[in-house]
Amino acid sequence: MVVGLWDTCVLSQGIEDYENYYNEIHVDDEQAEVKTRNALQSPLQRWPGQRIYYRIANNFSEIEASNVRYAVSSFNDQTCLQFEEMTGNPPAGRRYVYFKKSKNMCGTRVGYQPLQFGSHDVQLTERCLSMPGVIQHETLHVLGLFHEQSRPDRNEYVEIDYDNIPRKYWSQFMAMEQTTTFNVPYDYQSVMHYSKNAFAKDPTKPTIRALIEGKPVERDMGQTRGPSEGDLAKIRIMYNC
Ligand SMILES: [Zn+2]
C-alpha cells in the first residue's frame, strides 16, 4: 500500500493507488467479495441492453453526486450506453448500479453478475469520489473491463519486473487468459492501465516497462483523467454500438 502518499502528491498517483488491495489489513465480508473482482469474473458478462440504471446513495455531498453524474454521463455522450439515474426505491427485480460511500474502499466487481439480483455496488471513498476519472474506472469494471495490463496478449506489450514487486501483489499483475481484446490495440493510456511504478518496492524503478520492438523501455502509462479512445472502443464493441 502507498497510503502515505495519498494526500501529498496526488498528481503522481496511478489508478492503482485509488483502489484497494487488502492483503495486509483487515477485510470484512463485503470487502472480501470486492477483493476477488480481478480474478473471478469474465468480461463476457455484459449488461443486457444499452440502458443501465444507476442510483446514488443519499449520503453523498452535492459535489460527490455531481461527479458521479458527470462520470457516467460521459458514457452516454461517447457510447451508445444510456445510464439513467433512479431516485427512490427501485422497482422489484430491477438491476442497477449502486454508487455507495465507503470509508476505506474503492472497488467493484467486474461485469454484469447474472446470479445476483438488485444492486451492483460500486464502493467509493471521498477521495475516489473527488476524481471523476476514478469513478469512470470503476464504471468500466462494472461494464466488464479488467485492467489493461491484464489483457491476455499483454506480454507482447509490457514486461513486468516481479523482482521490484512484493510477492503479495503479484496477483495484481496476472494476465487474464480467459478475457478478450476485441482486437482493440493495446492502450498504454487506458484509464484501466496501472502506472509504470505500480506497487514498486523501489519507486525509483518501474515495475512495468513497455516493450518496443521486443525491448523493455521505460515510459509513462495509465492515467486518472478518464476513459481513453481504446477504453471507449471496447465498450462500443461489447455493447453493439
Ligand atoms: Zn481497477
Q: Please name each of the domains of the chain with its CATH number.
A: 43-146+232-238 (3.40.390.10)
pLDDT band at 202 (very low <50, low <70, confident <90, very high): very high
* pLDDT tens for each residue of 97-110: 999 999 988 999 88
Lowest mean pLDDT, pick from 19-28, 59-68, 188-197: 19-28
> What is the 1 CA–ligand 1 centroid distance (Å)?
15
- What does the pLDDT average to over 220-233? 96
Ligand 1 geometric centre to CA of 192 (Å): 6
Rg of the chain's alpha carbons, rounded to an integer? Answer: 17
Give the pLDDT mean for 153-175: 93
Asked if 138 is an active-site residue, the reply is yes
How large is the average pLDDT for residues 13-28? 61
Ion ligand 1: residues, Cβ under 5 Å: 19
| pLDDT confidence of residue 29 | 34
Among 138, 148, 156, 229, the one annotated catalytic: 138
pLDDT of residue 28 exceeding 50, the answer is no
Pick 169 or 82 by higher pLDDT: 82
Q: What per-residue confidence (pLDDT) applies to 207?
A: 97
Q: Region 179-186: what's the mean pLDDT?
A: 90
The pLDDT value recorded for residue 10 is: 37
List, in order, residues 6 or more apart from 46 with CB less than 8 Å away: 111, 112, 143, 144, 238, 239
If pLDDT is split at 50, 70 and 90, which confidence band does 62 have?
A: very high
140: CA distance to ligand 1 center in Å? 8
- pLDDT higher for 37 or 114? 114
CA–centroid distance, residue 118 to ligand 1 (Å): 22
Q: Rounded mean pLDDT of the chain?
A: 85
Winning range, highest mean pLDDT, from 71-80, 146-155, 177-186:
71-80
Q: What are phi and psi of 120, to 5 degrees?
A: -105, 105
- DSSP annotation string for 178-211: T---TTPPP-TT-TTSPPTTTT-SSTTS-SEEEE
In this prediction, residue 176 has a pLDDT band, given cuts at 50, 70 and 90, of confident
| Neighbour tally for 73: CB within 10 Å | 13
